[in-house]
Amino acid sequence: MLMRSEISPFDQINPPPRLLMGPGPINADPRVLRAMSAQLIGQFDPAFTDYMNETMALYRGVFETRNRWTFLVDGTARSGIECMLVSMLEPGDRVLIPIFGRFGHLLVEIAERCGADVHTIERPWGEVFTADEIEAAVKRVQPKVLACVQGDTSTTMCQPLEDIGAICRAHDVLLYVDATASIIGNPLPVDAWKIDAVSAGLQKCLGGPSGTAPVTLNERVEALVHRRRHIEAGIRPDGYHGAQGMRIGSNYFDLGMLMDYWSEKRLNHHTEATTMLYGARECARIVLQEGLAACAERHRIAGEAMLHGIQAMGLKVFGDIAYKMTNVVGVYIPEGVDGEAVRKSMLLDFGIEIGTSFGPLHGKIWRIGTMGYNARRDAVLTTLAALEAVLKRAGARLDMGKAVDAALDLYEAETAARSGASV
Ligand SMILES: Cc1ncc(COP(=O)(O)O)c(C=O)c1O
């Protein structure tokens, strides 16, 4: 039998104060944490189904879409990706995936597990594709679906997408986008750009925790899912006939069943993650209250201030910065400096987390984010000041003492430009 001391050997969770300035997750907005501390109610309580409907409406605003089917998939951002791909792709379907970083490889991995016939085009890390390159590949492969990441946090690059939807329509291809890392910090007007399906996550520019994936899909995707429609035994209505198409290969991520659950029918599927819905709803309220344009501008300015500070120190920035996401920057670890020791000192001496990197960039760059609740002037300046102090102590030969000034100069120039514009 377990002793009382063995059953409860740990202290109550009390995380150390941290400023999360990596590629995500970031510190949640306190408003989101407050919303998430609200009491649970039943998933079919009319108050809760109202919250579900409100969440759908709010995310239509976030995605800039009129899509009826805009809701949450329970699970981290990866669950949104998996839900879209397993529901859109049948075994043998051709899919084209442009790879320009780790998350393109993730789309390939998931599409392969769906049994799809996967075709790829690839760019070195730090670059993106031109629309012409993507169109040429679409013409050659003739896929059913083009699946593309918008902002790939592994490389910090943001793939321009404004022309890709029209290319896909012209060739009768469905366009799915993973916007986990980019949404809100970088424009993504889903309807205007003719994107058929998108999935995202809360833990980057939306300023929440990971754990639910906002998604949106249009009637083109709905029609495809409808052909595969299925209802579980035990909750089938009288006279039910399944659709002719192949049943979707996942129960949890069956888009059709999720749509039935989020529709007025409220056909039972999973038990909605109440607390995550409270959080997601508050994330959307925050960005829509600020305004999408203002929010994107805040991310642009914070990202530029961080970039200017990094460059003023004499540090080199990774990749083609013309295509950098606003909300994260890759910074080369200077020669002779132990990158992990710097990250450790940032964390333990200053309470600031900056990111490491994956694959070919591992040990070569740090990734520093300015997103969501942390796309703030004080967070940028604190991070730059701490990084400079840590690098100085690590013996890096850099232009010390310039980073904070460069960032402040940028903020002042932006303020002056704005007040000039409003005169
Ligand atoms: C572009 C992109 N896609 C997908 C993911 C996976 O998200 P999650 O870890 O929430 O499943 C991430 C996480 O960083 C990401 O940056």
- The DSSP H or E segment spanning 334 is none
Work out which ligand 1 atom sits closest to the CA atom of 179.
Answer: 1
* Topology at the third CATH level for domain 30-288: Aspartate Aminotransferase; domain 2 (3.40.640)
pTM, rounded to two decimals: 0.96
What per-residue confidence (pLDDT) applies to 351? 98
Q: Which of 153, 276, 283, 358 is the pocket-test mutation for ligand 1 (most atoms within 8 Å of CB)?
A: 153
User: Could you tell me the CA-to-CA distances from 392 to 55, 73, 338 in Å, in that order?
Assistant: 47, 45, 13
pLDDT at residue 163, rounded to an integer? 98
CB 227 within 8 A of CB 91: no
Q: What is the pLDDT of residues 243-293, one digit of tens each?
A: 999 999 999 999 999 999 999 999 999 999 999 999 999 999 999 999 999
103 CA from centroid of ligand 1 (Å): 7
395 Cα to the center of ligand 1, angstroms: 34
**What is the DSSP secondary structure assignment for residue 247, as one 8-state letter?**
P
pLDDT tens digits along 46-60: 999 999 999 999 999
Positions of E strands within 131-276? 145-149, 151-152, 157-158, 174-178, 197-199, 212-217
What pLDDT shows up at residue 1? 59
Q: Is the pLDDT of residue 373 over 60?
A: yes
- Mean pLDDT, rounded, of the chain: 96
Residue 4 pLDDT > 70 = no
79-98 pLDDT, tens digit each: 999 999 999 999 999 999 99
E strand or H helix at 365: strand 365-369
Topology at the third CATH level for domain 292-416: Aspartate Aminotransferase, domain 1 (3.90.1150)
Residue 423: pLDDT band (50, 70, 90) is low
Mean per-residue pLDDT, 104-111: 98
**In testing the pocket of ligand 1, which one of 20, 78, 206 has its CB within 8 Å of the most ligand atoms?**
78
419 pLDDT tier (thresholds 50, 70, 90): confident
Provide the pLDDT confidence category of residue 3 given band limits of 50, 70 and 90.
low
Q: Report domain extents, the chain.
A: 30-288, 292-416
Checking if the pLDDT of 422 tops 70, the result is no
